[in-house]
Homo-oligomer: A and B are copies of this chain.
């Protein structure tokens, strides 16, 4: 990858408005397919990355997290919050922004909104995992929790995992109606369901994407038949889970980065040595994904820094041909690098002269 900086003081910035233009220019599905390709490439070279569980600052109402990683050439981090109560005051549960930097100089090469980009990379990651784990010719997905993430999930699964029917359920029926309406032109069969039991009926893939910050039981054991793939997206911080423990005990569990998932994922309900398979080992061929049609597979997704790195790496390449960014005067750049104070003095002089 190349991180070309044209100037030393300016950092390309992708605003929300420019991100929307970019996504609409490329198309949400091709955009997510491209992110999935970049994630797959990066997961296959997993061992070279500098990895750590994300660094969370928890408060009573939510968490603010930093998610850094590096492949030795580029470095990225994402700032992301999770505040379920925000929607009550008209704010997003999750907002994010991120930075991609050049390891060689330490200089930021790109800063971008990542609320939309995170929704896209999460959809891409979920569908990519399903490519390895879902039953062959899966075509029906149930999606429980029809909030901000839902359409991205549906479109990613359509583009990457071959879904043609979605069964929607949310405790707020308006959320399901909005999701179905937003998907109206997408050529999918969207069915609004009255209960989660109803939604999982006939589904080959079950996605849970609810937002409550508590131990919840969105899925109970009796709802899960043989051969299903579960994509658990919503349980992603300590004290927040969506699946009954009995489901976990019947499933083969696949995770991103175990030290983070043990703390944040569904498997926080299990013993700390409960066997799990790292998804990167499936992608590089070391470990099998799905091995039988009766097996229940679970992707216990919490979102890992390398997925953001991959999304930023794709975005950085995309900006070379689609220059939807502006330049931010973010880095002090004195003519003589050791003369930071002199730059201040000269700025004062030129202001007085003006």
Complex CA–CA separation, A20 to B345 (angstroms): 9
Complex CA–CA separation, A20 to B330 (angstroms): 12
Which 5 A/B pairs are nearest by Cβ-Cβ distance? A81-B106, A151-B341, A115-B332, A15-B329, A20-B347
Stretch of A85-93, A125-133, A279-287 lying at the B interface: A85-93
Sample of 22 A–B contacts (CB below 8 Å) = A15-B328, A15-B329, A16-B329, A19-B332, A20-B347, A28-B344, A52-B55, A59-B72, A61-B104, A64-B70, A64-B101, A87-B337, A90-B337, A91-B333, A92-B337, A95-B106, A97-B330, A97-B331, A119-B341, A178-B339, A178-B342, A182-B342
| Contact bitstring A111-142, B, C-beta under 8 A = 1, else 0 | 00101100100000000000000000000000
A interface, over-half SS: mixed
A106 CB → nearest B CB, Å: 2
Q: Is the CB of A330 within 8 A of B15?
A: yes
Q: Is the CB of A105 within 8 A of B79?
A: no
Q: Is A17 an interface residue (CB 8 A)?
A: yes
Q: Is the CB of B329 within 8 A of A17?
A: yes
Report the copy number of this chain in the oligomer: 2
Residue on B nearest A103 in the bound complex, by CB: B59
Q: Is A239 an interface residue (CB 8 A)?
A: no
Complex CA–CA separation, A265 to B230 (angstroms): 48
